[in-house]
């Protein structure tokens, strides 16, 4: 049988269908790795750097992983080392990573066939953590509309400030779009040499970026649920059915919003108290600038990665608070990393239920199944173990103290992008290690573990029950 180039899409589709049936998680990891390899090649082009010659392999790999994994950690200054082409490649990598590889595959499928096949629905459901396949089409459309709209809205809010600062409309537009995309996708790359440090008290510049980071960390399922609830509420009011304001929000949305707001408040207050009189961070600022800096420092450990003060000059106690916030991260199926806020919420609810002597874990009039708690514990333990092992290795191959090494490891695993300033000074082996950690953090602990599993284990025989002593 004669082989033709036009048969490649059909052959790839057959391979993808077979791989999806065997292990959707493994396929997701393979595709994600392929995209990282593609962006590595793009960044190794001679014209990707502002100077002469091509980027080193380790720098291209690290930057590609950081972009596709929407992290923002950088071993080279984005504004001066990379050319305009290189910055565009980084921007494209962040966009692809923000959408999620499987979501992008579904978008392409919709464009080609104007519908989503069963395999694509399964893959996208796995990527976006939605259990109902019927929601995938709406979710993909929400990803496109919400992400693009919010990114452009943030860019529009930033443009007047950048125009006043830069003076050139073209440069102001580029910086506005770049920061808008990075903010919503929770990637901390900055196209300006000094970043946001000179603008610590600039509410018109800092507040839109912080708002974009917070919205991006909520997750697309939450955005979809909020949009549907608001649309339904408006429709009911227009029909005169029920005048009382009410939103039909899912338990996931309620837990995400409540936990996110609590972490933002507690984190901002804690950082403000610890840094208020620090002469190298908040000390020289007036109180409105201190409040803005505290809010910004409280929201960016969610996975934003931006900073308006020198992270390396902060108190070590502030680093520890930031470590905890980075480990938790943002919402599920969002551009944020970490173990996710719903994971923390479920564990806290289980502790409260155990303290009260309740058999069930309840929240907002709903009962959370035991398998959700097991999954939450598994994700937390996996993340903590990976971060600990990475920190141990980094301590052996570098001369940096534990506080900085732990901060860097958590920032990489949670795809945050904050750093105490040691990223560029790390040896090549440490850079490759952090690249792998960012990849694991973005693909997800359970997804990555499932991708490595050779087979699913199904047990027919169950052993007799016996309770060990706990505590």
pLDDT at 100 (0 to 100): 73
Share of the chain above pLDDT 70, in %: 79
Expressed in percent and rounded to 5, the helix, strand and coil fractions of the chain are 70, 0, 30
Task: Kindly tell me if the per-residue pLDDT of 273 is higher than 90.
Answer: yes
Instruction: State the average pLDDT for the chain.
Output: 84
Alpha helices in 312-471 (DSSP H): 316-328, 341-356, 370-397, 402-413, 428-443, 445-452
pLDDT at 298 (0 to 100): 95
Mean pLDDT in residue range 273-277: 95
pLDDT at 454 (0 to 100): 45
Residues 408/420, Cβ–Cβ less than 8 Å: yes
Residues 116/140, Cβ–Cβ less than 8 Å: yes
Task: Kindly tell me if the per-residue pLDDT of 123 is higher than 80.
Answer: no
pLDDT at 112 (0 to 100): 46
Torsion of CA 367, 370, 375, 376, to 10 degrees: 60
Token readout for 383 is 């993340």
Alpha helices in 69-199 (DSSP H): 78-81, 84-99, 101-113, 118-128, 136-166, 169-184
Token readout for 271 is 């950082």
Share of the chain above pLDDT 90, in %: 58
CA distances from 210 to 23, 179, 294 (A): 38, 11, 11
Residues 186/274, Cβ–Cβ less than 8 Å: no
Task: Kindly tell me if the per-residue pLDDT of 416 is higher than 60.
Answer: yes
Residue with tokens 């972009």: 67
Confidence band of 280 (pLDDT split at 50, 70, 90): very high
Mean pLDDT in residue range 358-372: 89
Task: Return d(Cα 215, Cα 218) in angstroms, integer.
Answer: 5
> Among 139-143, 156-160, 213-217, which stretch is predicted with the lowest mean pLDDT?
139-143
Which value, in Å, is the radius of gyration of the alpha carbons in the chain?
23
> Among 218-232, 256-270, 410-424, which stretch is predicted with the lowest mean pLDDT?
218-232
pLDDT at 394 (0 to 100): 97
Mean pLDDT in residue range 269-274: 96
Question: Between these two residues, 447 and 36, which has the higher pLDDT value?
Answer: 36
Question: Between these two residues, 60 and 114, which has the higher pLDDT value?
Answer: 60
Mean pLDDT in residue range 61-88: 94
The pTM (predicted TM-score) of the whole model is: 0.87
Render pLDDT for 190-206 as a digit per residue (tens, 0 to 9).
998 888 999 999 999 99
Confidence band of 1 (pLDDT split at 50, 70, 90): very low
Task: Return d(Cα 284, Cα 275) in angstroms, integer.
Answer: 11
Render pLDDT for 126-143 as a digit per residue (tens, 0 to 9).
555 555 545 556 656 767
* Length of the chain (residues): 471
Residues 201/287, Cβ–Cβ less than 8 Å: no
Task: Return d(Cα 432, Cα 429) in angstroms, integer.
Answer: 5
Task: Kindly tell me if the per-residue pLDDT of 366 is higher than 80.
Answer: yes
Beta bridge partners of 367: 362
Confidence band of 119 (pLDDT split at 50, 70, 90): low
């Amino acid at each position: 049988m004669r082989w033709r180039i036009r048969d490649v899409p059909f052959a790839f589709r057959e391979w993808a269908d077979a791989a999806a049936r065997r292990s959707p998680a493994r396929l997701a990891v393979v595709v994600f790795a392929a995209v990282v390899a593609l962006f590595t090649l793009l960044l190794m082009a001679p014209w990707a750097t502002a100077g002469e010659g091509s980027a080193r392999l380790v720098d291209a790999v690290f930057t590609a992983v950081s972009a596709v994994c929407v992290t923002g950690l950088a071993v080279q200054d984005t504004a001066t080392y990379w050319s305009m082409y290189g910055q565009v490649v980084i921007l494209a990598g962040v966009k692809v990573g923000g959408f999620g590889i499987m979501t992008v595959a579904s978008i392409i499928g919709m464009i080609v066939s104007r519908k989503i096949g069963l395999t694509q629905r399964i893959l996208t459901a796995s990527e976006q953590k939605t259990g109902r396949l019927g929601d995938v089409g709406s979710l993909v459309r929400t990803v496109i509309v919400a992400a693009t709209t919010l990114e452009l809205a943030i860019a529009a809010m930033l443009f007047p400030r950048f125009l006043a600062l830069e003076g050139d409309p073209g440069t102001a537009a580029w910086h506005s779009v770049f920061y808008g995309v990075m903010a919503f996708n929770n990637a901390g790359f900055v196209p300006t040499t000094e970043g946001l440090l000179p603008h610590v008290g600039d509410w018109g510049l800092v507040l839109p970026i912080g708002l974009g980071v917070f919205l991006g960390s909520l997750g697309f399922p939450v955005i979809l649920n909020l949009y549907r609830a608001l649309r339904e509420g408006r429709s009911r009011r227009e029909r005169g059915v029920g005048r009382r304001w009410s939103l039909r929000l899912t338990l996931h949305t309620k837990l995400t919003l409540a936990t996110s707001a609590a972490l933002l408040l507690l984190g901002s207050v804690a950082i403000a108290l610890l840094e208020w009189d620090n002469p190298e961070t908040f000390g020289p600022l007036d109180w409105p600038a201190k409040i803005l800096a505290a809010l910004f420092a409280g929201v960016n450990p969610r996975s934003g990665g931006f900073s308006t003060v020198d992270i390396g000059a902060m108190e070590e106690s502030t680093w520890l608070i930031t470590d905890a916030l980075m480990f938790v991260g943002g919402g599920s199926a969002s551009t944020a990393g970490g173990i996710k806020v719903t994971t923390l919420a479920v564990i806290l609810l289980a502790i409260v239920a155990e303290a009260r002597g309740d058999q069930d874990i309840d929240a907002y009039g709903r009962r959370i199944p035991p398998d959700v708690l097991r999954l939450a514990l598994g994700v937390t333990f996996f993340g903590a173990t990976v971060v600990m092992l990475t920190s141990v290795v980094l301590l052996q191959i570098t001369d940096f103290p534990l506080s900085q090494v732990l901060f860097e490891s958590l920032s990489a695993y949670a795809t945050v992008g904050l750093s105490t300033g040691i990223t560029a000074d790390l040896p090549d082996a440490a850079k490759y290690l952090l690249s792998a950690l960012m990849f694991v953090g973005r693909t997800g602990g359970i997804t990555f573990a499932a991708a490595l599993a050779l087979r699913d284990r199904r047990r027919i025989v169950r052993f007799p029950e016996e309770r060990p002593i706990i505590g």
